[in-house]
Amino acid sequence: MKKDLGLVQAVYPMPVLMVAAYDENGKVNAMNVAWGQICDDDKIILFIGEGKKTWLNIKASKAFTVSLADRDHMKEADFLGIATGNKMEDKFERTGLHAKKSDKVNAPIIDEFPVVMECELLEFLNSDYVSGVVGKIVNVKAEEAVLDENGKVDPSRLNALIFDQFRNGYYVSGEKVGQAWNAGVPLMRK
């Protein structure tokens, strides 16, 4: 029997996405965004509140990167979600992380995170109910250490953080339990 839990953010898992953009002076800013998702083959949507430092930087630079946070950098990823660049001038520097300019878009790539999507701003979605940033993914880069023998990202090597909204925890993904677009095929034959 199911028990009523009331209003709970009941989507699990949520990705731990590190979004980075340059400010008007070329300074790196990054934030932890759990509310984001691929929304087409080459598009991503991030639900970032209007006026956040990273939101303002994306608006100014028209570009951003989205990295997958990993177990080895959980402390830094969490900090980038706790601290605000609107109040902390040295937010990115405090992490000890390193960034270099993307060769595809006008945005920083954080060296330590193993997978990064390089994105151009397509549009902002603003309504009474949602503030979203939609980007076109122009390229994805990945560390060789997380690639399989076919050059694809192997989740078991990635150690990507996932966010648990039920208990505010971080977990690591990786165990493959089935093949997409195959596991349900027997039901097609009924």
In a domain, 9, yes or no: no
In a domain, 26, yes or no: yes
Reading the block at residue 37, the tokens are 């998702």
In a domain, 4, yes or no: no
In a domain, 5, yes or no: no
Reading the block at residue 146, the tokens are 């997380």
In a domain, 66, yes or no: yes
pLDDT digits (tens, 9 = 90+) for 71-88: 999 999 999 999 998 899
Q: Which domain holds residue 81?
A: 14-188
Q: Which residues are bridge partners to 63 per DSSP?
A: 120
Contact 13, 171 (CB under 8 A): yes
Residue 115 is predicted with a pLDDT of 98
* pLDDT band, residue 34 (cuts 50/70/90): confident
Contact 69, 161 (CB under 8 A): yes
Span 170-181, average pLDDT: 88
Q: What is the DSSP string of 50-105?
A: TT-HHHHHHHHHSEEEEEE-BGGGHHHHHHHHHS-TTT-TTHHHHHT--EEE-SSS
Span 36-56, average pLDDT: 94
Q: What CATH number is attached to the domain comprising 28?
A: 2.30.110.10
In a domain, 177, yes or no: yes
Mean of the per-residue pLDDT values of the chain:
94
Per the structure, how many domains does the chain have? 1
Contact 159, 67 (CB under 8 A): no
